[in-house]
Structure 1
């Protein structure tokens, strides 16, 4: 879905550089210094309007969260949620996930969240899927050896594709849930999409995977 342009978005981002960081590559290998502590660093790729990452920041104050969102109009909405939450353990980046290695150093992250990523259903767009092997190569480099990827989607085709992609890459599937909400995980924070889809009775799939 094409996002409505917000003419004032640039001004908003300039005024809120403490929330949506400018030139994040300057913190490459220095994110713990940026946050001022040695807490684990968790990154959400495709943070949307920020409901998940602000909820996680509240629930886990001893973890540092970084949300990455490419669409400027959407990152503005996420920034407003972060401001309302008043949490000092979460920041946002208006960046492309393809540039992950320019932003984070080797073994710098503990967890990566992929929530309701674009399924890119056409075969010719396979390389754009965030669980395609070229993205997995990046995740493996920036994640700590014991770090994990947590993947949620309502799209069964993308879920099945991702399980195969993880396995073919040699990753270990730590958890595979075909109906997350039936599992009733009390720590699960829903995204905006998750609330919408689950309200319609759609199953939500989740898996957790690590690099062997």
Structure 2
């Protein structure tokens, strides 16, 4: 392991906005994000597979009345978002280092107001469907964690994954599509995201890929 990674891991251990194995709060955070981490009652917004946290931090800059949590297993990635949030004094940002399939271990029923799924691995092979973050398996996990009328936002460059997800959501009796587009930056929704882009979104956009976006909720 490189010296840089080791230094980042050490800083994660010290940074209050990183919740991870080895910290006391990691074992008791479920159902207690507002009380123990943010010390307020503001709505909680979670980004899955947040990477370096560009989107999580970007949203937090614009919405101080909400709490934002980026989830990723890569400690060297969330270090970036963590340190930026600290340097900017953004107390409404935190990062949870864990695997996404374990999400229900760290959030309680009705604890999340909004969920962002941004540019996940498409896992295009049919045999890998259960690994997609928008598969039935994951939707069933998200459902109880979201508040009533809680929103799920999904962004991707991958047409196959987008069409798969849209069809799946439209076919479910317990889901309601609020908005969808195959060209986000030519849609009415583009301005409300304040131009915030993840690293991957920037790369895909520069290659001419159309960004797809879906907004839905559980009925």
For the criterion TM > 0.5, the same-fold answer is: yes
- Aligned residue for 2:5, secondary structure, equals coil
| C-alpha separation in 2, matches of 1:103 and 1:15 | 20
Report matched runs for 1:1-212 at 5 Å. Answer: 6-16=5-15, 18-23=16-21, 24-34=26-36, 35-170=38-173, 171-183=175-187, 185-188=190-193, 189-212=196-219
Contact 1:65–1:90, Cα closer than 8 Å, also in 2? yes
Tell me the TM-score normalized by structure 2. Answer: 0.89
| C-alpha separation in 1, matches of 2:83 and 2:32 | 26
Instruction: Give the Å deviation of 1:137.
Output: 0.7
Per-residue CA distance 1:139-184 (angstroms, 9 max, x = gap) = 1010001101000000000101111222233311100011111126
| C-alpha separation in 1, matches of 2:131 and 2:47 | 17
Moved over 3 A (4+): none
| C-alpha separation in 1, matches of 2:172 and 2:41 | 30
Instruction: Give the Å deviation of 1:204.
Output: 0.3
Aligned length: 207
**CA separation of 1:25/1:143 partners in 2, compared to 1, >3 Å: closer, same or farther?**
farther
- Aligned residue for 1:61, secondary structure, equals coil
Tell me the TM-score normalized by structure 1. Answer: 0.92
